[in-house]
Amino acid sequence: MNQKTIPDNIVKLLSRVRLAAQKSQRSAEDICIVAASKTRSSDTIRAAHQSGLCDFGENYLQEALDKIEDLADLNLCWHFIGPIQSNKTRPIAEHFNWVHSVERAKIARRLSDQRPPELGPLQILLQVNISGEASKSGALPEELPGLVEEVMGLPHITLRGLMAIPAATNDESQKTQPFARMRQLLREMQVIAPEMDSLSMGMSNDLEAAIAQGTTFVRVGTDIFGPRDG
Ligand SMILES: *Cc1c(COP(=O)(O)O)cnc(C)c1O
């Protein structure tokens, strides 16, 4: 991984996002790039921030807490995007701005209970297992209405939307369908919870398809930082 390529990578990424937004008559400002920075060092994150990124997504709690502390001098917005064990909710509630990977009401309740009220509500997204893969995290689409009803009234979180990681494919024609389904699911959930206004979907190899289906967050690792070493 070569830190010198980060500024160029970010310039290219911003133009991809701008072009994709234009094609769907959307404003690029409505699409937030979350740099998926798992396994990357604090210095690497600093380099990405110098090139204009402010939002970082982390998957592993201890690694994330170390970086949040190292980088406390920057005004970064931290997103938790990895699987959540219920005994790890407190530090997540205390140190993050957004959580994209909530899949059970129990986790949402703990995050709400443990969120320090002076920080304001934690912004959360419900992760959906949109490709129905047995091995994947996320609530099934049919579980969503019940989950939304349980989560929407909790006092110290704000339910903002849905997140998904569809099954990987290199077939362009297969990329759109799961994202279109997510857009439809968000519309259905907005009937129950009108404050839901966000979608987190699209990564390095499918962000154009996600932007065309209305995503508000793309989570990008490889195309900013290069391949992960393992
Ligand atoms: C690592 C990761 C990403 C970024 O994936 P890339 O293919 O490297 O862009 C996005 N979302 C989640 C949840 C991740 O864990």
CATH code of residue 22: 3.20.20.10
The answer to whether residue 230 is domain-embedded is no
- Confidence (pLDDT) at 1: 59
Once rounded to an integer, what is the mean pLDDT over residues 219-223?
98
The answer to whether residue 76 is domain-embedded is yes
The percent of residues in the chain predicted with pLDDT above 90, rounded, is 92
Atom of ligand 1 lying closest to residue 82 CA: 13
Q: What's the pLDDT band for 3 if we cut at 50, 70, 90?
A: confident
Q: Is 219 in the pocket of ligand 1 (CB under 6 A)?
A: yes
CA distance 76 to 2: 22
Place of tokens 């970064």: 76
Once rounded to an integer, what is the mean pLDDT over residues 48-73?
98
The answer to whether residue 201 is domain-embedded is yes
Q: Is 220 in the pocket of ligand 1 (CB under 6 A)?
A: yes
CA–CA–CA angle 3, 219, 14 (5° rounding): 65
Domain that holds residue 69: 3-225
CA distance 140 to 94: 28
Q: Is 204 in the pocket of ligand 1 (CB under 6 A)?
A: yes
Q: What's the pLDDT band for 189 if we cut at 50, 70, 90?
A: very high
Q: Is 3 in the pocket of ligand 1 (CB under 6 A)?
A: no
pLDDT, one tens digit per residue, over 112-147 is: 999 999 999 999 999 999 998 877 899 999 999 999
Choice from 81, 129, 162, 207 to test ligand 1 binding pocket (greatest atom count within 8 A of CB): 81
Whether 62 has a pLDDT exceeding 70, the answer reads yes
In 71-228, DSSP assigns E strands to 77-80, 98-102, 122-128, 157-164, 198-200, 217-220
Whether 230 has a pLDDT exceeding 60, the answer reads no
Once rounded to an integer, what is the mean pLDDT over residues 217-230?
92
pLDDT, one tens digit per residue, over 7-19 is: 999 999 999 999 9
Domain count, the chain: 1
Once rounded to an integer, what is the mean pLDDT over residues 23-48?
98
User: DSSP secondary-structure letter at 139?
Assistant: B
The answer to whether residue 155 is domain-embedded is yes
Are the CB atoms for 176 and 212 separated by under 8 Å? yes
Average pLDDT across the chain, whole number:
96
- Confidence (pLDDT) at 9: 98
Q: Is 81 in the pocket of ligand 1 (CB under 6 A)?
A: yes
- Confidence (pLDDT) at 47: 98
- Helix-strand-coil split of the chain, %, nearest 5: 45, 20, 35
Nearest CA to ligand 1 atom 5: 221
Whether 173 has a pLDDT exceeding 90, the answer reads no
- Confidence (pLDDT) at 175: 93
Strand partners, 78: 56
pLDDT, one tens digit per residue, over 84-96 is: 999 999 999 999 9
Choice from 12, 17, 55, 219 to test ligand 1 binding pocket (greatest atom count within 8 A of CB): 219
Once rounded to an integer, what is the mean pLDDT over residues 15-25?
98
Helix (H, G, I), strand (E, B) or coil at 102: strand
